[in-house]
């Protein structure tokens, strides 16, 4: 079956999450700081997928609340195309990510995490929310 890597593409950080081998549970993995080099960031995503033996990479697709594709969704689509070119052996899928960061923030606040700690954690938790929604939809 293989693992699935979840990705939350942010302007400053990229959140990563990983499924268990049975593809039932998503867990936050780590946060990659943006390097300023889009190609290097893409290579880091591909390297993480390969290191974790993930055959599928699920990337958050930030549609507008109305469901329309805005600038962020168009940019995410372009990232997926660039990743497919870089790693044709991996499957890349876009998943609606509306409100995932809000859900991640709320869960971290409810757990009592300080604002400072949330800053470095929210991206990987948002990636886990994106990935879990994908896993739930594919059961």
Tens-digit pLDDT string for the chain (139 aa): 689 999 999 889 999 999 999 999 999 999 999 999 999 999 999 999 999 999 999 999 886 666 677 777 888 999 999 999 999 999 999 998 765 665 656 665 666 656 666 566 778 988 999 999 899 988 8
Q: Name the H helices within 21-98.
A: 38-51, 71-86
Q: What pLDDT, on the 0 to 100 scale, is given for residue 126?
A: 87
> Out of 3.20.20.70, 3.40.50.1100, 3.40.50.720, 3.30.420.140, which CATH number does the structure's domain 3-137 have?
3.30.420.140
Q: Is 53 helix (H, G, I), strand (E, B) or coil?
A: coil
Domain ranges (residues) in the chain: 3-137
- Residue of 4, 23, 7 whose CA lies nearest to 91: 4
């Amino acid at each position: 079956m293989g693992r699935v890597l979840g990705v939350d593409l942010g302007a400053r950080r990229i959140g990563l999450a990983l499924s268990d081998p049975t593809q039932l549970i998503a867990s936050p993995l780590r946060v990659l700081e943006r390097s300023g080099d889009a190609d290097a960031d893409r290579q880091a995503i591909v390297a993480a997928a390969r290191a974790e033996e993930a055959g599928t990479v699920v990337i958050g697709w930030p549609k507008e609340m109305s469901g329309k594709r805005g600038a962020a969704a168009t940019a995410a689509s372009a990232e997926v195309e660039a990743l497919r070119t870089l790693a044709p052996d991996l499957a890349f899928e876009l998943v609606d990510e509306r409100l995932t960061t809000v859900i991640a923030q709320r869960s971290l606040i409810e757990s009592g995490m300080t604002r400072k700690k949330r800053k470095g954690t929210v991206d990987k938790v948002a990636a886990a929310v994106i990935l879990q929604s994908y896993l739930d939809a594919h059961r």
